[in-house]
Amino acid sequence: MKRALPINRHVAQRVGFTAITLMAIATVLPIVAVVIYILIQGLPAISLEFLTGFPHDGMRAGGILPAIIGTVYLTIGTAIFSVPLGIGAAIYLSEYAADTPLTRTIRIAIINLAGIPSVVYGLFGLGLFVLFLNFGTSILAASLTLSIMTLPVIISTAEEALRSVPQAFRTVSISLGATRWQTIQQIVLKEGLPGILTGVILGLERAAGETAPILFTGAAFFLPRLPHSPFDATMALPYHLFVISTQVPEMPIQIQYGTALVLLVFVLTMNLIATVIRSRARAKRQW
């Protein structure tokens, strides 16, 4: 049998730990660098005119208001469809579903929805909403496409939040004469709310930053006005960034970084809100 000196094992551990630590740093550092770099490069472009004006001179000057408003519309549109449906599905999985083949099929379906490439969602939205249901390239079609893409995120985080509510809470409520739905509505949903909110925001954050699903379902290259109805196409921040960085020649670099910064702030704010809600709920939890 080989006899290793104990010191060698400890040296190996020290070397190994250092290597793993460096790997973790190498993974995280670029994220911080990306955020700081865009902040530094984009900040000079930010002005009131940039945030509240319309683009002009072939988008090479002016503001990005229509893209900002468009992303807000799409995010709200996505929320309208995906939040009730996602929470409903989470309630079903956590409170109603027994471990049957059907339930397992639902879970596999959710896992698969989460894995489908975003551009395939775009194709699906084009086929079903834009052409088959004749919504045209519109906010409605894009929101519906984004909703289905967002669904698995909302379902899985909301289900986890509901499951973490102790079983005793339900038992007590039912024993006091409440119906199942009253128990869910007034006890389970209330206690699980912070977790559900976190999931909803993280899901919508992803929808707000996506480009591929809206490429053929609702995104407009350039619009001189704001959309009037859900059946209008719209500009959107991620698509606008793609357009001005690859499709428009001689685009001022500052506007590109400014647009990237606005999109980043939009998304990071949602991320921050979700993180704060979660850590507050954890600190407050008494069970």
Partner 1 sequence: MEKSLSWREFAITRLIKASGYSAILFVALIFFFLVREGFPTFGEVGASSLLSIRWYPIEDYFGILPLITGSLIVTIGAGLIAVPFGIGTAIYISEIAPRWMREILKPLVELLGGLPSVVLGFLGFLVLSPFLRAFLNLPTGLTALTGSLLLGGIAVPTVVSVAEDALDAVPRAYREGAWALGATRWQTIWRVTLPAARSGVLTAIMLGVGRAIGETMTVMMVTGNAPVLALKLGSLFSPVRTMTATIAAEMGEVASGSVHYHVLFFIGMLLFLISLGVNIAASSVVFRAKKRAERILS
- Using CB under 8 A, which of the segments 16-24, 62-70, 166-174, 225-233 binds partner 1? 16-24
Question: Which residues in 253-272 contact partner 1 (CB under 8 A)?
Answer: 253, 256, 260, 263-264, 267-268, 270-271
Which whole-number Å values give the CA distances from 171 to 70, 168, 183, in the listed order? 46, 5, 9
First to last CA, the chain: 51
Residue 203 CB, nearest approach to partner 1 (Å) = 11
Question: Which residues in 132-171 contact partner 1 (CB under 8 A)?
Answer: 132, 148, 151-152, 155
Closer of 94 and 228 to partner 1 (Cβ): 94
Closer of 1 and 32 to partner 1 (Cβ): 32
Question: Which residues in 68-87 contact partner 1 (CB under 8 A)?
Answer: 84-86
Residue 170 CB, nearest approach to partner 1 (Å) = 15
Residue 140 CB, nearest approach to partner 1 (Å) = 17
Of the candidates 97, 187, 226, 265, which one interacts with partner 1 according to CB under 8 A? 97
Closer of 7 and 228 to partner 1 (Cβ): 7
- Using CB under 8 A, which of the segments 47-55, 62-70, 111-119, 165-173 binds partner 1? 111-119
Closer of 28 and 61 to partner 1 (Cβ): 28
Closer of 31 and 48 to partner 1 (Cβ): 31
Report the sign of the C-alpha dihedral through residues 128, 124, 84, 208, in that order: negative
Of the candidates 111, 164, 172, 285, which one interacts with partner 1 according to CB under 8 A? 111
Q: Does 98 bind partner 1 (CB under 8 A)?
A: no
Which whole-number Å values give the CA distances from 109 to 95, 99, 157, in the listed order? 19, 15, 16
Of the candidates 36, 76, 166, 180, which one interacts with partner 1 according to CB under 8 A? 180
> What tokens were used for 119?
């551009």
Site string for partner 1, 195-224 (x = CB under 8 A): -------x--xx-xxxxx--xx--------
